[in-house]
């Protein structure tokens, strides 16, 4: 944990940061320092600060890894017959980036690392001889290479610390210890995969170079990252923001308020970005052209860049938009969260609330009336891991399809995934669920809305199946299923995760009465209880009459009479059985009253069904199968694709 002085004390910095002048150069006041200290204390229970012992273990592991890299590069140099003088000075180094390099990693977080090698070391060497060297290490577990990825990587666990290692081969004969990766000249004559691998380090180093006070930046970023995760808006792959994007937004806030401490910066963060006029881009520095002919984000040149909804541009060349996955829905959700964050931090600064309120997680499963539940399943654990990764990477396509539907105003995917239910106990399968909240457009009076989401779902599933087949990942029984679920039905799929149903609770007058006042209070309590008793009986009778009328209107006269007599006799018998104890009597009547009210509502819904008809047609395992004869079978090759049909008829 950074020291108090480092965290709390802002310092005036005459240097100009960012592409505009600061909004305020105000120095921190005593109240700001107190609020920042309280913020630090509020963060501790969430495990955002790593203990010193764990931090030293990470440094030790990275030191070992750095030594392994140097040894490996010397071995490769010898096999390629380099002169002995060169071999001794050839170098090689491990750089870190991401949350660890920024100094905001949490307990148990992984480390993003980059292996930088001189020009005579090939990428094939990294994925062969270096991989073999790692296999020889006792501390290394779960070693796997992903050579065909967009950014090739070796993943491993080193002494129980998860590490992702990228590779970059520079056009240098030796790698000096003081190498600065921010030097744009290093990108000349490099393979595109090496440029992508270098990008993480270059962006991280630029961010740290472009903020006025690193400690204030770090504490603010820890706060914002925790807030974003608690509010389910932390996921680049699903169309929200990833770690580097949040870091750049916080860095921009620091530039605008260079002398502010963390408590002020958190408030200003919400102030600035709740009012930001998107799609105006967020820039930490003016883009520079290094004449290396690499593609950079520029809507004046690249037409596709004009459609980015929430551009946050990386500060290192080649500048890229880190938020190209953001959709209209995810942007709307994030802006709404920014506004709520501003409201809460206003209260905190006015001493009307504590910092803990900012980290209260909203209940996503109570927020919307309608949800689309997506289920990805595969026969084995290994197949499931690959399948889930592919499906998750494409969910934003489904969100985009739903957004384009004329009847949908918002599609909000929850970044959390959940274990899915099994189709049958006999069949071995592993499944994962995602939940998407959907808001349908408001209907005019007496207007019915017919919504067919079949094509939206089918287009998404076809895309996933095609990619799985093209990459030769697809296996039999890999499935994607979708269903429409109402809020009140979610507990059937997520029994332990949705807010539990409210249990009926009854409050009675205390039976513990002081002896000196016992008789007087007893008489008063009996009178109040008896009045409540008579009122409850009357309400029960009225409810029973309504039930009878409802059933008569359905032409079920005999059933109505029997239903009436049954509940009437039950209520009377229970009431008079407990008449000696007024509290028990009242309790019995209240229970009956609630039961009757529920029954009344059910009957009313039966009567009004023709005017309030909601039809949901889903896949066979859950509900009645829809006729999908008009939906083409895709892909063309015959594979067991699950047809998903969701057709809704919504009334006002």
On whether both 224 and 258 belong to a single domain, the answer is yes
Q: Which two tokens stand for residue 381?
A: 């654990």
On whether both 106 and 188 belong to a single domain, the answer is yes
Average pLDDT on 428-435 reads: 88
Torsions phi, psi of 327, nearest 5?
Answer: -110, 175
Asked if residue 630 is part of any domain, the answer here is no
Tokens 């070391």 appear where? 121
On whether both 305 and 375 belong to a single domain, the answer is no
Report whether pLDDT(104) > 60.
Answer: yes
User: What are the angstrom distances between the C-alpha of 104 and each of 111, 244, 248?
Assistant: 11, 11, 13
On whether both 248 and 352 belong to a single domain, the answer is yes
Average pLDDT on 563-589 reads: 49
pLDDT in tens, 525-574: 444 445 555 555 665 666 666 566 655 555 444 445 545 555 554 554 45
Asked if residue 506 is part of any domain, the answer here is no
452 pLDDT band, cuts 50/70/90, is confident
Q: Which residues pair with 163 in a beta bridge?
A: 111, 156
* The domain boundary residue, chosen from 207, 224, 259: 207
Beta carbons within 8 Å of 171's beta carbon, 6+ residues apart: 119, 186, 188, 189, 190
Cα–Cα distance, 301 to 70 (Å, whole number): 43
Cα–Cα distance, 276 to 310 (Å, whole number): 10
| Max mean pLDDT range (45-49, 226-230, 382-386, 562-566) | 226-230
Cα–Cα distance, 517 to 102 (Å, whole number): 69
Q: How much of the chain, in percent, has pLDDT values that exceed 90? A: 55
What pLDDT shows up at residue 251?
98
Torsions phi, psi of 411, nearest 5?
Answer: -130, 110
Number of neighbours of residue 277 by Cβ within 10 angstroms = 5
Q: Which residue has better confidence, 450 or 212?
A: 212
Q: Which two tokens stand for residue 246?
A: 């949040």
Asked if residue 146 is part of any domain, the answer here is yes
Asked if residue 303 is part of any domain, the answer here is yes
Report whether pLDDT(204) > 70.
Answer: yes
On whether both 196 and 257 belong to a single domain, the answer is no
Q: How many domains does the chain have?
A: 3
CATH number at residue 327: 1.10.1410.10
DSSP β-ladder status, 430-440 and 140-146: unpaired
On whether both 294 and 280 belong to a single domain, the answer is yes
- Phi-psi label, residue 351: left if phi above 0, alpha if psi -120 to 50, beta otherwise: left
Q: Which two tokens stand for residue 278?
A: 């998107």
Closest CA to 616 of 580, 645, 595, 582: 645
On whether both 91 and 239 belong to a single domain, the answer is no
Cα–Cα distance, 163 to 172 (Å, whole number): 26
On whether both 98 and 174 belong to a single domain, the answer is yes
Cα–Cα distance, 636 to 652 (Å, whole number): 41
Which uninterrupted H or E stretch holds 594? helix 582-607
* The domain boundary residue, chosen from 437, 462, 497: 497
Closest CA to 299 of 317, 287, 290, 315: 287
Cα–Cα distance, 341 to 611 (Å, whole number): 41
491 pLDDT band, cuts 50/70/90, is confident
524 pLDDT band, cuts 50/70/90, is very low
* The domain boundary residue, chosen from 342, 358, 374: 358
User: What are the angstrom distances between the C-alpha of 512 and each of 507, 508, 578?
Assistant: 14, 11, 19
pLDDT in tens, 370-387: 999 999 999 888 888 889
DSSP state of 436: E
CATH number at residue 424: 3.30.70.590
Specify burial of residue 394 (Cβ count, 10 A radius: 0-12, 13-18, 19+): middle
CATH number at residue 146: 3.30.460.10
Average pLDDT on 298-305 reads: 91
Domain that holds residue 483: 364-497
What is the Cα 271 distance to its own chain's centre?
A: 22
Specify burial of residue 550 (Cβ count, 10 A radius: 0-12, 13-18, 19+): buried
What pLDDT shows up at residue 610?
40
Asked if residue 277 is part of any domain, the answer here is yes
605 pLDDT band, cuts 50/70/90, is low
Asked if residue 411 is part of any domain, the answer here is yes
Length of the chain: 652
Q: Which two tokens stand for residue 598?
A: 């529920």
Three-state SS at 414:
coil
On whether both 373 and 345 belong to a single domain, the answer is no
What pLDDT shows up at residue 625?
30
Specify burial of residue 413 (Cβ count, 10 A radius: 0-12, 13-18, 19+): buried
DSSP β-ladder status, 111-117 and 140-146: unpaired
Inter-axis angle of helices 262-274 and 243-256, nearest 10: 100
Q: Which two tokens stand for residue 542?
A: 């009225």
Asked if residue 8 is part of any domain, the answer here is no
Catalytic residues: 99, 110, 112, 164, 225, 234
What pTM was computed for the model? 0.75
Q: How much of the chain, in percent, has pLDDT values that exceed 70? A: 72
Asked if residue 118 is part of any domain, the answer here is yes
Cβ–Cβ < 8 Å for 533, 575: yes
Report whether pLDDT(99) > 50.
Answer: yes
Average pLDDT on 312-341 reads: 95
* Dihedral angle of Cα 64, 67, 69, 72, to the nearest 10 degrees: -120
Strand order in the sheet with 140-146: 93-97, 111-117, 161-169, 153-158, 140-146
On whether both 307 and 403 belong to a single domain, the answer is no
Q: Which residue has better confidence, 510 or 574?
A: 574
Q: Which two tokens stand for residue 414?
A: 């929850």
229 pLDDT band, cuts 50/70/90, is very high
On whether both 396 and 472 belong to a single domain, the answer is yes
Question: In the chain, what is the straight-line distance between the N-terminal and C-terminal CA atoms, in Å?
Answer: 54
On whether both 219 and 346 belong to a single domain, the answer is yes
Three-state SS at 265:
helix
Cα–Cα distance, 468 to 447 (Å, whole number): 42
What pLDDT shows up at residue 401?
92
Q: Which residues pair with 323 in a beta bridge?
A: none
Closest CA to 318 of 283, 279, 291, 280: 291
């Amino acid at each position: 944990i950074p020291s108090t002085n480092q965290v709390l004390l802002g310092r005036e910095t005459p240097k100009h940061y960012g592409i505009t002048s600061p909004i305020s150069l105000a120095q921190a006041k005593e109240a700001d320092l107190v609020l920042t200290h309280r913020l630090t204390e509020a963060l501790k229970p969430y495990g955002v600060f790593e203990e010193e012992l764990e931090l030293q273990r990470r440094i030790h592991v990275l030191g070992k890894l750095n030594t392994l890299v140097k040894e490996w590069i010397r071995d490769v140099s010898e096999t390629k017959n380099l002169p002995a003088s060169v071999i001794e000075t050839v170098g090689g180094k491990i750089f870190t980036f991401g949350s660890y390099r920024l100094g905001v990693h949490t307990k148990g977080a992984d480390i993003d690392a980059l292996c930088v090698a001189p020009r005579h070391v090939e990428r094939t060497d990294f994925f062969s001889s270096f991989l073999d060297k790692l296999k020889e290490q006792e501390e290394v577990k779960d070693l796997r290479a992903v050579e065909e990825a967009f950014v090739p990587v070796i993943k491993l666990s080193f002494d129980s610390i998860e590490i992702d290692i990228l590779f970059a081969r520079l056009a240098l004969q030796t790698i000096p210890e003081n190498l600065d990766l921010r030097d744009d000249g290093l990108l000349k004559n490099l393979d595109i995969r090496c440029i992508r691998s270098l990008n993480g380090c270059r962006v991280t180093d630029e961010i740290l170079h472009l903020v006025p006070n690193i400690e204030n930046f770090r504490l603010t970023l820890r706060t914002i990252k925790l807030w974003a995760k608690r509010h389910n808006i932390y996921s680049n792959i699903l169309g929200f923001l990833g770690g580097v994007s949040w870091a750049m937004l916080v860095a921009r806030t620091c530039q605008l308020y260079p002398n502010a401490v963390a408590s002020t910066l958190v408030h200003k963060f919400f102030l600035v970005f709740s009012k930001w006029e998107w799609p105006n881009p967020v820039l930490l520095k003016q883009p520079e052209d290094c004449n290396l002919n690499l593609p950079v984000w520029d809507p004046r040149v690249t037409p596709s860049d004009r459609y980015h909804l929430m551009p946050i541009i990386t500060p290192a060349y080649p500048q890229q938009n880190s938020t190209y996955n953001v959709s209209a829905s995810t942007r709307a959700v994030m802006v709404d969260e920014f506004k709520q964050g501003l409201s809460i931090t206003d209260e905190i600064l006015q001493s009307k609330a504590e910092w803990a309120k900012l980290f209260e997680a909203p209940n996503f499963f109570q927020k919307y009336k309608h949800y689309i539940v997506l289920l990805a399943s595969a026969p084995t654990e290994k197949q499931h891991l690959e399948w889930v990764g592919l499906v998750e990477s494409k969910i934003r396509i489904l969100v985009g399809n739903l957004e384009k539907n004329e009847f949908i105003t918002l599609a909000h995917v929850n970044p959390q995934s959940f274990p899915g239910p099994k189709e049958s106990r006999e069949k071995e399968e592993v499944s994962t669920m995602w939940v998407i909240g959907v808001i349908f457009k408001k209907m005019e009076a007496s207007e019915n809305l017919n919504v067919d989401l079949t094509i939206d779902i089918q287009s998404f599933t076809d895309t996933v199946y095609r990619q799985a087949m093209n990459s030769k990942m697809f296996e039999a029984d890999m499935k994607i299923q979708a269903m429409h679920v109402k809020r009140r039905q979610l507990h059937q799929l997520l029994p332990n995760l949705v807010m539990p149903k409210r249990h009926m609770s009854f409050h009675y007058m205390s039976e513990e009465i002081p002896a000196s006042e016992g008789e007087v209070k007893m008489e008063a309590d009996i009178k109040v209880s008896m009045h409540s008793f008579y009122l409850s009986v009357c309400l029960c009778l009225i409810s029973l009459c309504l039930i009878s009328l409802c059933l008569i209107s359905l032409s079920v006269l005999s059933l109505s009479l029997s239903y009436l007599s049954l509940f009437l006799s039950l209520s009377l018998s229970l009431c008079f059985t407990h008449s000696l104890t007024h509290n028990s009597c009242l309790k019995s009547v209240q229970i009956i009253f609630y039961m009757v009210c529920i029954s009344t509502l059910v009957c009313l819904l039966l009567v009004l069904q023709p005017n309030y008809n909601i039809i949901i047609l889903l896949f066979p395992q859950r509900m009645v199968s829809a006729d999908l004869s008009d939906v083409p079978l895709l892909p063309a090759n015959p594979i067991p694709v699950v047809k998903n049909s969701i057709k809704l008829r919504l009334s006002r």
